Amino acid sequence: MRSLTPPSLSARAVYRTCISKALPRHKQRLDALEQAVVDAADKFEAAASAAALHTLKDLAAKPVDAADRAQLTNTYTNRFVPDGAPGNLLYNALKKVRHKICPLCGHRDVSTLDHQLPKMKYPLLAVVPINLVPACGICNGLKGERVPETVAEQTLHPYYDDVADEQWLHAGLKWTESRPPEITYSIRPPEGADTVLAARVIRHFQIFSLAELYGPNAVREMSNIRGILKFLNAGTRHKYLLLAENSVLIDKDAGGQNHWKRALFQTLARDSRYLEGGFDQF
């Protein structure tokens, strides 16, 4: 749920670099596809800017020829990703992101590039930079070959969607008599939020299983701060948690409003049962 600055590399430059050392028998075919790749990148940019990637279905049918499609996907797999491949420096440049944090989950380390529209279904977009998002392996796997069928099914695209200025992510602390207290995460769209964007944020949260990721991490964090809170009284605990929340909030690049720690500290600071001793149960 974090935004990133879109890459400045052009689709043509990346494509040409990748195919520069292709065997002559493949090179001719790949050269002939160059303009189609550039045109597809332009279409992708227009659609992504308008949150309309679900309208690009006609692009999936191109090119028709199976050998062309295979050469395009091979270009990603063999000419772009491997160490020493002609496009590898560009691949590594696209993977670079602050603190190595995956923008899709905002938590795990980047280890790959995720195709916003999958390369097997959209081979013309296989090495188009704006279709390639730095991601952790788990987010990459969770999204898989999904293609949005409707406007609401589009997960957030870090180069085009920015929800960091408002709080969407919230944490809840539930006390039960019979079981240990539970911390849960959910999306609550801010007041006046666009309904399509709200549906997309919820979709993103579900596809990437963010509640399941943040919950256990929150419990570990609560366990980490228990030792500090023990030495404070309830009022000072409240202040400590507000400070902790603020230290997350001020760093927009690190997730700001929608970092799971921000939502956690915010909820804990408001929970009198937690402040008055409940913290010791974590």
Q: Minimum distance from CB of 218 to Zn ion (Å)?
A: 17
* 229/254 with CB nearer Zn ion: 254
Cα 150 to the center of its chain, rounded Å:
19
Which residues, 6 or more positions from 208, have their beta carbon under 8 angstroms from its beta carbon? 104, 105, 139, 142, 143, 155
Should residue 102 be labelled a site residue for Zn ion when binding is judged by CB under 5 A? Answer: yes
* 27/95 with CB nearer Zn ion: 95
Binding mask 38-77 for Zn ion (x = CB under 5 A): ----------------------------------------
Return the residues of window 137-166 that contact Zn ion according to CB under 5 A.
139
Tokens of 253: 């690049």
Q: How far apart are CA 158 and CA 129, in angstroms?
A: 13
Interface residue with Zn ion among 108, 121, 188, 252 (CB under 5 A) is 108
Concatenating the DSSP letter of every residue in 140-152 gives HHHHTT---SSGG
Interface residue with Zn ion among 14, 30, 56, 105 (CB under 5 A) is 105
Q: Minimum distance from CB of 128 to Zn ion (Å)?
A: 21
* 99/179 with CB nearer Zn ion: 99
Which residues, 6 or more positions from 119, have their beta carbon under 8 angstroms from its beta carbon? 72, 73, 76, 125, 126
Should residue 95 be labelled a site residue for Zn ion when binding is judged by CB under 5 A? Answer: no
Q: Describe the chain by its helix, strand, coil percentages, rounded to 5.
A: 55, 10, 35
Contacting range for Zn ion; rule: CB under 5 A; set: 100-108, 122-130, 156-164, 196-204: 100-108
Q: Minimum distance from CB of 116 to Zn ion (Å)?
A: 14
Number of residues that bind Zn ion (CB under 5 A): 6
Q: Minimum distance from CB of 75 to Zn ion (Å)?
A: 25
221-237: b (≥16 Cβ within 10 Å) or e: bbeebeeebeeeeeeeb
Q: H-helix or E-strand containing 185?
A: strand 182-187
Contact residues toward Zn ion (CB under 5 A) are 102, 104-105, 108, 136, 139
